[in-house]
Amino acid sequence: MKLVIVDDYDALSRAGADWLIEAIQEQPEAAIVAATGNTPTGMYIELAQYRSRGLVDTSRLRVFQLDAYLGLPPDDHRALFSWTRRSFIEPLGIAEENVVRLAGDAPDPWEACRYYEATVHEVGGFDLSILGLGPNGHLGFNEPPSPPDASTRVVDLTPESIVSNGRYWGGEEQVPRQALTCGMDLLLKARRTLLLVSGTHKHQIVHRAVEGPQTPDVPASFLQSAINVTVLVDWAAWRGQ
């Protein structure tokens, strides 16, 4: 695990974009799983600016949705697919046929999880994984406790995740209580991972994830044993002030 500490959120977004550009230039058709959340937003904006200046071709990436609320159609404003579309797929010029949804609105969501897993296996697993860190140590919606072999599945959200995700949608009552998440097993096998962490509120959890014991209670701690993981943290998160 490589730890890179940068000054602030802007520096994090720039450093993340540089990391991604290098990876995309090496492998323009990379299979990438891309997190939503506030943390990677600045990095995606940077990346889109590089693309619009013709400095990187992002249009051939094959994108996999990381997580989805159960029961929301993809065009619901809270659906994480619509967030991925706004922040990643459209600004980076990726065609819809190169996007694999985790279908939270499928009649049989467990079947949707199996289909997603089969599709990831078909492309040989993820080349790139872009992750944020939940306040409770979750990756995607792999809520604690999640062992390293946890599959892609339907999960109950923890009260902590419901509260923290309420800020995106104007209150916790807006947040569905269940979700689908790409499993730990697929995430931990990605060939390259970038974990982004910003802000004082992530101080304790980032230290537990990076330096603490590897435990299902902090799912992100299993990244310590994964290959080619870069953790990009700003000083606010690292120092807690």
Binding mask 108-147 for ligand GLP (x = CB under 6 A): ------------------------x-x-----xx------
State yes or no: residue 232 binds ligand GLP (CB under 6 A).
no
DSSP lists the bridge partners of residue 132 as 196
Task: Tell me whether residue 143 is one of the annotated catalytic residues.
Answer: yes
CB-based contacts of 98, cutoff 8 Å, min separation 6: 60, 61, 62, 63
Task: Tell me whether residue 203 is one of the annotated catalytic residues.
Answer: no
Residue 46 or 67: which CB sits closer to ligand GLP?
67
Task: For residue 236, give Cα distances in angstroms to 173, 191, 209.
Answer: 30, 28, 16
State yes or no: residue 37 binds ligand GLP (CB under 6 A).
yes
Which of 13, 36, 58, 152 binds ligand GLP (CB under 6 A)? It is: 36
Question: Where do we find the tokens 């979700």?
Answer: 179
State yes or no: residue 39 binds ligand GLP (CB under 6 A).
yes
CB-based contacts of 241, cutoff 8 Å, min separation 6: 200
State yes or no: residue 183 binds ligand GLP (CB under 6 A).
no
Binding mask 146-165 for ligand GLP (x = CB under 6 A): ---------------x---x
CB-based contacts of 184, cutoff 8 Å, min separation 6: 139, 142, 146, 147, 148, 149, 150, 219, 222
Residue 148 or 219: which CB sits closer to ligand GLP?
219
Query: Encoding tokens for residue 210?
Result: 């990076």
Q: Which positions touch ligand GLP (CB under 6 A)?
A: 35-39, 66-67, 132, 134, 140-141, 161, 165
